[in-house]
Amino acid sequence: MDLFFSYLLYFILFISLPIVFLITYRHKSSNPNLPPGTMGWPIIGETLEFASACQGGNPGRFLNDRMNKYSPQVFKTSLLEANMAVICGASGNKFLFSNEDKLVVSWWQRSMKKILCFPSVFNETLTRDNFRPPTFLPEFLKPEALQHYIVTMDSMASEHIELNWSPNREVLVFPLARKYSFALAFRLFMSIADPEYVEMISHHFQILNEGFLSVPIDIPGTTFNRALKASKFIHNELLAIITKRKMELQQKGDSATRDLLSHMLLASDENCNVKSEMEISTQVICLLFATHHTTSSVITFILKYLAEFPDVYSKVLKGFLKWDDIQKMKYTWNVANETMRLTPPVQGTFREAITDFTYAGFTIPKGWKVYPKYFPDPEKFNPSRFVGKGPQPFTFVPFGGGPRMCPGREYARAQVLAFIHNVVTRFKWEKVDPCEKVAYNPSPIPSKGFPIRLQPLQNGFI
Protein backbone atom coordinates (compact mmCIF):
# COMPACT_ATOMS: atom_id res chain seq x y z
CA MET A 1 0.00 0.00 0.00
CA ASP A 2 3.08 2.28 -0.15
CA LEU A 3 1.96 4.10 -3.31
CA PHE A 4 -1.53 4.68 -1.87
CA PHE A 5 -0.33 6.11 1.44
CA SER A 6 2.49 8.10 -0.17
CA TYR A 7 0.03 9.98 -2.36
CA LEU A 8 -2.36 10.38 0.54
CA LEU A 9 0.46 12.06 2.50
CA TYR A 10 1.34 14.13 -0.57
CA PHE A 11 -2.26 15.30 -0.81
CA ILE A 12 -2.41 16.24 2.88
CA LEU A 13 0.87 18.18 2.66
CA PHE A 14 -0.32 20.30 -0.25
CA ILE A 15 -4.07 20.57 0.35
CA SER A 16 -3.62 24.15 1.57
CA LEU A 17 -2.38 25.51 -1.77
CA PRO A 18 -3.84 28.89 -2.72
CA ILE A 19 -7.24 28.85 -4.38
CA VAL A 20 -5.69 30.45 -7.47
CA PHE A 21 -4.06 27.07 -8.18
CA LEU A 22 -7.42 25.32 -8.04
CA ILE A 23 -8.92 27.88 -10.40
CA THR A 24 -5.99 27.49 -12.80
CA TYR A 25 -6.25 23.71 -12.59
CA ARG A 26 -9.92 23.73 -13.47
CA HIS A 27 -9.44 26.30 -16.19
CA LYS A 28 -6.90 24.11 -17.95
CA SER A 29 -9.37 21.23 -17.93
CA SER A 30 -12.39 23.24 -19.10
CA ASN A 31 -11.97 22.67 -22.86
CA PRO A 32 -15.43 21.42 -23.97
CA ASN A 33 -13.80 19.14 -26.56
CA LEU A 34 -11.84 17.15 -23.98
CA PRO A 35 -12.77 13.48 -23.59
CA PRO A 36 -15.37 12.63 -20.93
CA GLY A 37 -14.11 11.73 -17.47
CA THR A 38 -12.87 13.40 -14.32
CA MET A 39 -9.53 14.78 -13.20
CA GLY A 40 -10.15 13.86 -9.57
CA TRP A 41 -8.44 15.77 -6.76
CA PRO A 42 -6.04 18.68 -7.32
CA ILE A 43 -2.43 17.59 -7.79
CA ILE A 44 -2.92 13.86 -7.20
CA GLY A 45 -5.92 13.46 -9.53
CA GLU A 46 -7.24 9.90 -9.39
CA THR A 47 -3.91 8.37 -8.35
CA LEU A 48 -5.32 7.15 -5.03
CA GLU A 49 -8.09 5.26 -6.79
CA PHE A 50 -5.65 3.80 -9.31
CA ALA A 51 -3.18 2.82 -6.56
CA SER A 52 -5.99 1.18 -4.59
CA ALA A 53 -6.98 -0.91 -7.62
CA CYS A 54 -3.33 -1.91 -8.15
CA GLN A 55 -2.83 -2.91 -4.54
CA GLY A 56 -6.07 -4.86 -4.72
CA GLY A 57 -4.64 -6.89 -7.60
CA ASN A 58 -7.00 -5.57 -10.25
CA PRO A 59 -5.70 -2.41 -11.99
CA GLY A 60 -8.05 -3.18 -14.88
CA ARG A 61 -10.98 -2.37 -12.61
CA PHE A 62 -9.95 1.30 -12.57
CA LEU A 63 -9.91 1.41 -16.36
CA ASN A 64 -12.97 -0.75 -17.03
CA ASP A 65 -15.13 1.22 -14.60
CA ARG A 66 -14.32 4.44 -16.43
CA MET A 67 -14.75 2.89 -19.85
CA ASN A 68 -18.23 1.79 -18.81
CA LYS A 69 -19.05 5.12 -17.19
CA TYR A 70 -17.62 7.55 -19.72
CA SER A 71 -16.64 6.00 -23.06
CA PRO A 72 -15.29 2.69 -24.38
CA GLN A 73 -13.04 4.66 -26.76
CA VAL A 74 -11.32 7.35 -24.69
CA PHE A 75 -11.67 9.04 -21.31
CA LYS A 76 -9.69 11.63 -19.36
CA THR A 77 -8.15 11.29 -15.94
CA SER A 78 -5.17 12.55 -13.96
CA LEU A 79 -2.51 10.13 -12.68
CA LEU A 80 1.00 10.58 -11.34
CA GLU A 81 0.59 14.37 -11.38
CA ALA A 82 -0.21 14.45 -15.11
CA ASN A 83 -3.37 15.06 -17.15
CA MET A 84 -4.06 11.95 -19.19
CA ALA A 85 -6.26 10.55 -21.91
CA VAL A 86 -6.76 6.79 -21.77
CA ILE A 87 -7.27 5.56 -25.33
CA CYS A 88 -9.01 2.18 -25.47
CA GLY A 89 -9.45 -0.61 -27.98
CA ALA A 90 -7.56 -2.08 -30.90
CA SER A 91 -8.21 1.03 -32.99
CA GLY A 92 -6.71 3.15 -30.20
CA ASN A 93 -3.58 1.02 -30.06
CA LYS A 94 -3.23 1.18 -33.82
CA PHE A 95 -3.70 4.95 -33.79
CA LEU A 96 -1.00 5.49 -31.17
CA PHE A 97 1.51 3.08 -32.67
CA SER A 98 0.98 4.58 -36.13
CA ASN A 99 1.56 8.11 -34.87
CA GLU A 100 4.65 7.56 -32.74
CA ASP A 101 6.97 10.59 -33.12
CA LYS A 102 4.25 12.33 -35.17
CA LEU A 103 1.54 13.09 -32.61
CA VAL A 104 2.88 11.32 -29.52
CA VAL A 105 6.23 10.33 -28.01
CA SER A 106 7.16 8.01 -25.18
CA TRP A 107 6.87 9.60 -21.73
CA TRP A 108 8.50 8.87 -18.39
CA GLN A 109 7.21 10.41 -15.20
CA ARG A 110 9.65 12.82 -13.55
CA SER A 111 10.28 10.58 -10.53
CA MET A 112 10.98 7.63 -12.85
CA LYS A 113 13.58 9.62 -14.79
CA LYS A 114 15.19 10.93 -11.62
CA ILE A 115 15.53 7.41 -10.21
CA LEU A 116 16.93 5.87 -13.39
CA CYS A 117 19.42 8.65 -14.21
CA PHE A 118 22.77 9.21 -12.58
CA PRO A 119 21.91 11.80 -9.87
CA SER A 120 24.57 14.36 -10.78
CA VAL A 121 23.48 14.57 -14.43
CA PHE A 122 19.69 14.61 -13.95
CA ASN A 123 17.92 17.70 -15.22
CA GLU A 124 14.46 18.56 -16.43
CA THR A 125 15.57 18.81 -20.07
CA LEU A 126 16.44 15.12 -20.42
CA THR A 127 14.87 13.96 -23.65
CA ARG A 128 13.15 10.69 -24.46
CA ASP A 129 16.29 9.69 -26.40
CA ASN A 130 18.11 9.27 -23.08
CA PHE A 131 15.76 6.40 -22.27
CA ARG A 132 15.46 4.73 -25.66
CA PRO A 133 17.21 1.39 -26.11
CA PRO A 134 20.53 1.53 -27.99
CA THR A 135 19.96 1.60 -31.75
CA PHE A 136 21.90 -1.65 -32.22
CA LEU A 137 19.91 -3.52 -29.57
CA PRO A 138 17.38 -5.07 -32.00
CA GLU A 139 20.33 -6.48 -33.98
CA PHE A 140 21.96 -7.81 -30.81
CA LEU A 141 18.73 -9.48 -29.64
CA LYS A 142 17.33 -10.71 -32.95
CA PRO A 143 16.41 -14.43 -33.20
CA GLU A 144 19.54 -15.36 -35.16
CA ALA A 145 21.82 -13.81 -32.54
CA LEU A 146 19.84 -15.34 -29.68
CA GLN A 147 20.64 -18.83 -30.93
CA HIS A 148 24.10 -18.34 -29.42
CA TYR A 149 22.57 -17.47 -26.03
CA ILE A 150 19.98 -20.24 -25.75
CA VAL A 151 22.59 -22.77 -24.62
CA THR A 152 23.60 -20.40 -21.81
CA MET A 153 19.97 -19.73 -20.90
CA ASP A 154 19.23 -23.44 -20.73
CA SER A 155 22.36 -24.38 -18.76
CA MET A 156 21.90 -21.53 -16.27
CA ALA A 157 18.24 -22.47 -15.77
CA SER A 158 19.25 -26.11 -15.19
CA GLU A 159 21.95 -25.10 -12.72
CA HIS A 160 19.57 -22.74 -10.95
CA ILE A 161 16.90 -25.44 -10.59
CA GLU A 162 19.37 -28.01 -9.26
CA LEU A 163 20.78 -25.58 -6.72
CA ASN A 164 17.67 -23.72 -5.55
CA TRP A 165 14.69 -26.01 -6.30
CA SER A 166 15.64 -29.68 -6.26
CA PRO A 167 16.87 -29.81 -2.61
CA ASN A 168 13.57 -28.35 -1.34
CA ARG A 169 10.02 -29.57 -1.02
CA GLU A 170 8.63 -26.02 -1.08
CA VAL A 171 10.00 -22.95 -2.86
CA LEU A 172 9.05 -19.30 -3.34
CA VAL A 173 8.73 -18.89 -7.10
CA PHE A 174 8.80 -15.12 -7.56
CA PRO A 175 12.10 -14.32 -5.78
CA LEU A 176 13.76 -17.37 -7.38
CA ALA A 177 12.55 -16.44 -10.88
CA ARG A 178 13.84 -12.92 -10.29
CA LYS A 179 17.19 -14.31 -9.09
CA TYR A 180 17.55 -16.39 -12.25
CA SER A 181 16.46 -13.58 -14.61
CA PHE A 182 18.85 -11.07 -13.07
CA ALA A 183 21.80 -13.48 -13.03
CA LEU A 184 21.16 -14.34 -16.67
CA ALA A 185 21.08 -10.67 -17.66
CA PHE A 186 24.39 -10.01 -15.91
CA ARG A 187 25.96 -13.02 -17.61
CA LEU A 188 24.73 -12.21 -21.13
CA PHE A 189 24.85 -8.40 -20.99
CA MET A 190 28.11 -7.89 -19.08
CA SER A 191 29.75 -11.37 -18.73
CA ILE A 192 29.52 -11.19 -14.93
CA ALA A 193 28.90 -14.53 -13.21
CA ASP A 194 29.73 -13.84 -9.52
CA PRO A 195 26.46 -14.87 -7.74
CA GLU A 196 27.17 -12.86 -4.58
CA TYR A 197 27.87 -9.68 -6.54
CA VAL A 198 24.76 -10.14 -8.70
CA GLU A 199 22.63 -10.76 -5.59
CA MET A 200 23.97 -7.58 -3.99
CA ILE A 201 23.05 -5.48 -7.05
CA SER A 202 19.65 -7.23 -7.23
CA HIS A 203 18.93 -6.17 -3.65
CA HIS A 204 19.48 -2.52 -4.56
CA PHE A 205 17.37 -2.95 -7.68
CA GLN A 206 14.52 -4.13 -5.49
CA ILE A 207 14.75 -0.91 -3.49
CA LEU A 208 14.91 1.08 -6.74
CA ASN A 209 11.83 -0.70 -8.08
CA GLU A 210 9.80 0.02 -4.94
CA GLY A 211 10.35 3.75 -5.49
CA PHE A 212 9.71 3.74 -9.21
CA LEU A 213 6.14 5.02 -8.95
CA SER A 214 6.46 6.61 -5.52
CA VAL A 215 5.70 10.23 -4.71
CA PRO A 216 8.85 12.32 -5.38
CA ILE A 217 9.37 13.45 -1.78
CA ASP A 218 13.13 13.36 -1.28
CA ILE A 219 13.49 13.33 2.50
CA PRO A 220 15.19 10.65 4.60
CA GLY A 221 13.03 7.62 5.23
CA THR A 222 10.75 7.96 2.19
CA THR A 223 10.53 5.28 -0.48
CA PHE A 224 11.66 7.81 -3.08
CA ASN A 225 14.73 8.79 -1.04
CA ARG A 226 15.73 5.14 -0.58
CA ALA A 227 15.29 4.54 -4.31
CA LEU A 228 17.55 7.49 -5.17
CA LYS A 229 20.25 6.14 -2.87
CA ALA A 230 19.93 2.68 -4.41
CA SER A 231 20.14 4.20 -7.90
CA LYS A 232 23.31 6.09 -7.01
CA PHE A 233 24.89 2.92 -5.62
CA ILE A 234 24.01 0.91 -8.76
CA HIS A 235 25.29 3.65 -11.06
CA ASN A 236 28.62 3.79 -9.22
CA GLU A 237 29.00 0.03 -9.53
CA LEU A 238 28.15 0.10 -13.22
CA LEU A 239 30.55 2.97 -13.88
CA ALA A 240 33.35 0.91 -12.32
CA ILE A 241 32.43 -2.02 -14.58
CA ILE A 242 32.25 0.26 -17.63
CA THR A 243 35.65 1.86 -16.88
CA LYS A 244 37.26 -1.57 -16.48
CA ARG A 245 35.72 -2.80 -19.75
CA LYS A 246 36.90 0.31 -21.66
CA MET A 247 40.45 -0.37 -20.53
CA GLU A 248 40.13 -4.01 -21.61
CA LEU A 249 38.86 -2.98 -25.06
CA GLN A 250 41.75 -0.55 -25.48
CA GLN A 251 44.38 -3.05 -24.36
CA LYS A 252 43.10 -6.29 -25.95
CA GLY A 253 41.24 -5.04 -29.00
CA ASP A 254 39.47 -7.85 -30.85
CA SER A 255 40.36 -10.38 -28.14
CA ALA A 256 38.44 -8.45 -25.47
CA THR A 257 35.10 -9.71 -24.16
CA ARG A 258 32.31 -9.16 -26.68
CA ASP A 259 28.89 -8.79 -25.13
CA LEU A 260 26.15 -6.14 -24.94
CA LEU A 261 28.29 -3.82 -22.82
CA SER A 262 31.16 -3.94 -25.32
CA HIS A 263 28.74 -3.18 -28.15
CA MET A 264 27.43 -0.17 -26.21
CA LEU A 265 30.94 1.17 -25.63
CA LEU A 266 31.98 0.77 -29.27
CA ALA A 267 28.77 1.91 -30.96
CA SER A 268 28.62 5.38 -32.51
CA ASP A 269 25.91 7.47 -34.12
CA GLU A 270 25.80 8.87 -37.65
CA ASN A 271 28.20 11.63 -36.54
CA CYS A 272 30.68 9.10 -35.10
CA ASN A 273 29.87 10.20 -31.55
CA VAL A 274 29.89 7.59 -28.78
CA LYS A 275 27.78 7.72 -25.65
CA SER A 276 29.27 8.85 -22.38
CA GLU A 277 29.85 6.40 -19.54
CA MET A 278 26.95 7.93 -17.60
CA GLU A 279 24.60 7.56 -20.58
CA ILE A 280 25.60 3.92 -20.96
CA SER A 281 25.10 3.36 -17.23
CA THR A 282 21.57 4.76 -17.49
CA GLN A 283 20.75 2.55 -20.48
CA VAL A 284 22.10 -0.54 -18.71
CA ILE A 285 19.93 0.24 -15.68
CA CYS A 286 16.87 0.53 -17.94
CA LEU A 287 17.64 -2.87 -19.50
CA LEU A 288 18.27 -4.50 -16.12
CA PHE A 289 15.12 -2.95 -14.69
CA ALA A 290 13.05 -4.61 -17.40
CA THR A 291 14.72 -7.95 -16.71
CA HIS A 292 14.47 -7.66 -12.94
CA HIS A 293 10.69 -7.65 -12.74
CA THR A 294 8.88 -8.19 -16.04
CA THR A 295 10.32 -11.52 -17.18
CA SER A 296 10.36 -12.97 -13.67
CA SER A 297 6.72 -11.91 -13.31
CA VAL A 298 5.77 -13.75 -16.51
CA ILE A 299 7.57 -16.91 -15.35
CA THR A 300 5.89 -16.77 -11.94
CA PHE A 301 2.37 -16.47 -13.30
CA ILE A 302 2.90 -19.12 -15.96
CA LEU A 303 3.67 -21.53 -13.12
CA LYS A 304 0.60 -20.28 -11.27
CA TYR A 305 -1.70 -21.04 -14.19
CA LEU A 306 -0.03 -24.40 -14.86
CA ALA A 307 -0.78 -25.34 -11.24
CA GLU A 308 -4.42 -24.31 -11.69
CA PHE A 309 -4.92 -26.08 -15.04
CA PRO A 310 -3.47 -29.64 -15.04
CA ASP A 311 -4.58 -30.27 -18.63
CA VAL A 312 -2.53 -27.28 -19.81
CA TYR A 313 0.44 -28.50 -17.77
CA SER A 314 0.19 -31.94 -19.42
CA LYS A 315 0.23 -30.42 -22.91
CA VAL A 316 3.24 -28.25 -22.03
CA LEU A 317 5.11 -31.26 -20.59
CA LYS A 318 4.36 -33.36 -23.66
CA GLY A 319 5.85 -30.71 -25.91
CA PHE A 320 8.96 -30.26 -23.76
CA LEU A 321 9.81 -33.96 -23.72
CA LYS A 322 10.95 -33.46 -27.32
CA TRP A 323 12.89 -30.29 -26.55
CA ASP A 324 15.26 -29.69 -29.46
CA ASP A 325 14.23 -26.41 -31.06
CA ILE A 326 12.87 -23.43 -29.15
CA GLN A 327 10.97 -22.32 -32.25
CA LYS A 328 8.79 -25.44 -31.98
CA MET A 329 7.52 -24.60 -28.51
CA LYS A 330 4.42 -22.89 -29.92
CA TYR A 331 1.89 -24.20 -27.40
CA THR A 332 4.04 -23.18 -24.43
CA TRP A 333 4.43 -19.70 -25.89
CA ASN A 334 0.65 -19.58 -26.31
CA VAL A 335 0.44 -20.31 -22.58
CA ALA A 336 2.89 -17.47 -21.94
CA ASN A 337 0.83 -15.10 -24.11
CA GLU A 338 -2.37 -16.02 -22.32
CA THR A 339 -0.57 -15.43 -19.02
CA MET A 340 0.50 -11.96 -20.16
CA ARG A 341 -3.04 -11.25 -21.32
CA LEU A 342 -4.59 -12.09 -17.96
CA THR A 343 -1.72 -10.87 -15.76
CA PRO A 344 0.25 -8.29 -17.74
CA PRO A 345 3.80 -7.75 -16.42
CA VAL A 346 3.46 -4.08 -17.39
CA GLN A 347 0.21 -2.13 -17.18
CA GLY A 348 0.64 -0.34 -20.50
CA THR A 349 3.06 2.41 -21.45
CA PHE A 350 2.68 6.17 -21.47
CA ARG A 351 2.90 8.59 -24.36
CA GLU A 352 2.94 12.40 -24.43
CA ALA A 353 1.07 14.46 -27.01
CA ILE A 354 3.54 16.71 -28.85
CA THR A 355 0.72 18.61 -30.55
CA ASP A 356 -3.03 18.96 -30.18
CA PHE A 357 -4.83 16.17 -32.00
CA THR A 358 -8.31 14.74 -32.29
CA TYR A 359 -9.32 11.19 -31.47
CA ALA A 360 -12.88 9.82 -31.50
CA GLY A 361 -14.17 13.38 -31.83
CA PHE A 362 -12.32 14.67 -28.76
CA THR A 363 -9.30 16.95 -28.46
CA ILE A 364 -6.15 15.62 -26.80
CA PRO A 365 -4.15 18.75 -25.89
CA LYS A 366 -0.41 19.05 -26.39
CA GLY A 367 1.45 17.98 -23.26
CA TRP A 368 -1.25 15.54 -22.11
CA LYS A 369 -0.16 11.99 -21.45
CA VAL A 370 -1.76 9.10 -23.33
CA TYR A 371 -2.27 5.59 -21.96
CA PRO A 372 -3.46 2.76 -24.29
CA LYS A 373 -5.62 -0.07 -22.93
CA TYR A 374 -7.63 -2.93 -24.46
CA PHE A 375 -8.74 -6.51 -24.32
CA PRO A 376 -12.20 -8.02 -24.14
CA ASP A 377 -13.39 -8.93 -20.67
CA PRO A 378 -13.26 -12.76 -20.80
CA GLU A 379 -11.34 -13.98 -17.74
CA LYS A 380 -11.08 -17.62 -18.78
CA PHE A 381 -7.54 -18.96 -19.11
CA ASN A 382 -7.49 -20.28 -22.66
CA PRO A 383 -4.14 -20.57 -24.51
CA SER A 384 -5.95 -21.81 -27.63
CA ARG A 385 -7.07 -18.24 -28.38
CA PHE A 386 -3.54 -17.74 -29.72
CA VAL A 387 -3.67 -20.71 -32.10
CA GLY A 388 -3.62 -19.93 -35.82
CA LYS A 389 -3.90 -16.23 -36.55
CA GLY A 390 -4.53 -15.50 -32.87
CA PRO A 391 -6.26 -12.33 -31.63
CA GLN A 392 -7.18 -9.55 -34.00
CA PRO A 393 -4.39 -7.08 -34.80
CA PHE A 394 -3.64 -4.51 -32.09
CA THR A 395 -5.82 -6.25 -29.48
CA PHE A 396 -2.87 -7.96 -27.78
CA VAL A 397 0.33 -5.92 -27.65
CA PRO A 398 2.44 -7.07 -24.66
CA PHE A 399 5.60 -5.81 -26.35
CA GLY A 400 4.14 -2.60 -27.74
CA GLY A 401 4.04 -1.80 -31.43
CA GLY A 402 5.17 0.55 -34.16
CA PRO A 403 8.69 2.03 -34.08
CA ARG A 404 8.87 1.58 -30.28
CA MET A 405 8.13 -2.15 -30.19
CA CYS A 406 10.16 -3.74 -27.41
CA PRO A 407 13.47 -4.93 -28.92
CA GLY A 408 13.83 -7.54 -26.18
CA ARG A 409 10.74 -9.58 -27.07
CA GLU A 410 12.72 -12.47 -28.58
CA TYR A 411 15.13 -12.43 -25.65
CA ALA A 412 12.20 -12.63 -23.23
CA ARG A 413 10.62 -15.44 -25.25
CA ALA A 414 13.78 -17.54 -25.24
CA GLN A 415 14.43 -16.92 -21.55
CA VAL A 416 10.91 -17.83 -20.49
CA LEU A 417 10.78 -21.01 -22.59
CA ALA A 418 14.21 -22.18 -21.40
CA PHE A 419 13.23 -21.72 -17.75
CA ILE A 420 9.78 -23.28 -18.05
CA HIS A 421 11.32 -26.26 -19.87
CA ASN A 422 13.68 -26.91 -16.96
CA VAL A 423 10.92 -26.66 -14.35
CA VAL A 424 8.20 -28.61 -16.15
CA THR A 425 10.46 -31.55 -17.04
CA ARG A 426 11.57 -31.89 -13.40
CA PHE A 427 8.47 -31.21 -11.33
CA LYS A 428 4.78 -31.06 -10.97
CA TRP A 429 3.60 -28.67 -8.26
CA GLU A 430 0.68 -27.34 -6.31
CA LYS A 431 0.00 -23.97 -4.73
CA VAL A 432 0.64 -23.74 -0.99
CA ASP A 433 -1.84 -20.87 -0.59
CA PRO A 434 -4.69 -21.03 -3.15
CA CYS A 435 -5.97 -17.66 -1.89
CA GLU A 436 -2.71 -15.72 -2.17
CA LYS A 437 -3.32 -12.13 -3.26
CA VAL A 438 -1.54 -10.21 -6.01
CA ALA A 439 -0.62 -6.53 -5.96
CA TYR A 440 0.81 -4.31 -8.71
CA ASN A 441 3.76 -2.00 -8.00
CA PRO A 442 4.12 -1.56 -10.98
CA SER A 443 4.39 -5.24 -12.03
CA PRO A 444 2.18 -7.95 -10.51
CA ILE A 445 3.72 -9.31 -7.31
CA PRO A 446 2.33 -12.28 -5.31
CA SER A 447 1.93 -11.14 -1.71
CA LYS A 448 3.80 -14.17 -0.34
CA GLY A 449 6.18 -14.75 -3.25
CA PHE A 450 4.00 -17.57 -4.67
CA PRO A 451 5.03 -20.60 -2.56
CA ILE A 452 4.56 -23.97 -4.27
CA ARG A 453 4.93 -27.59 -3.14
CA LEU A 454 7.10 -29.62 -5.52
CA GLN A 455 6.55 -33.18 -6.72
CA PRO A 456 9.69 -34.45 -8.54
CA LEU A 457 9.20 -36.27 -11.84
CA GLN A 458 10.95 -39.45 -12.92
CA ASN A 459 11.40 -39.71 -16.70
CA GLY A 460 8.51 -37.32 -17.25
CA PHE A 461 6.20 -38.94 -14.70
CA ILE A 462 5.47 -38.51 -10.99
Q: Which residues are annotated as a binding site for heme?
A: 406
Q: How many CB atoms lie within 10 A of CB 152?
A: 13
Beta bridge pairs of residue 355: none
Q: Which of 423, 426, 413, 385 is nearest to 326 (CA)?
A: 413
Q: DSSP state, 435? A: T
In contact, 313 and 306? CB cutoff 8 Å: yes
Residue set of the binding site: 406
The type of residue at 138 is: P
DSSP-derived 3-state class of residue 439: strand
Question: What is the rounded distance in angstroms from the CA atom of residue 386 to the CA atom of residue 233?
Answer: 43
Q: Which of 179, 217, 211 is nearest to 195 (CA)?
A: 179
- H or E element that contains 94: helix 89-98
Q: What angle do CA 150, 156, 160 make, to 5 degrees?
A: 145
What DSSP letter does each residue of 309-346 carry, written as one string?
-HHHHHHHHHHHTT-S-GGG-HHHHHHHHHHHHHS-SS
Q: Where are the beta strands (DSSP E) in 131-183?
A: 170-172
CA distances from 436 to 302, 421, 433, 452 (A): 15, 25, 5, 11
**How far, CA to CA in Å, does 421 sit from each of 139, 154, 323, 396?**
26, 8, 8, 24
Rounded distance between C-alpha atoms, residue 177 and residue 205, angstroms: 15
Phi-psi region of 460 (alpha: psi -120 to 50; beta: other; left: phi over 0): left
- Report the alpha-carbon distance of residue 46 to residue 94 in Å, rounded: 26
Q: How far apart are CA 340 and CA 395, in angstroms?
A: 13
Asked, as a colleague might, if the bond just before 138 is cis with ω within 30 of 0, I would say no
- Cα–chain-centroid distance for residue 410? 15
Q: What is the DSSP letter of 120?
A: G
State the CB neighbour count (10 A cutoff) for residue 298.
Answer: 28
Q: Which amino acid is at 24?
A: T
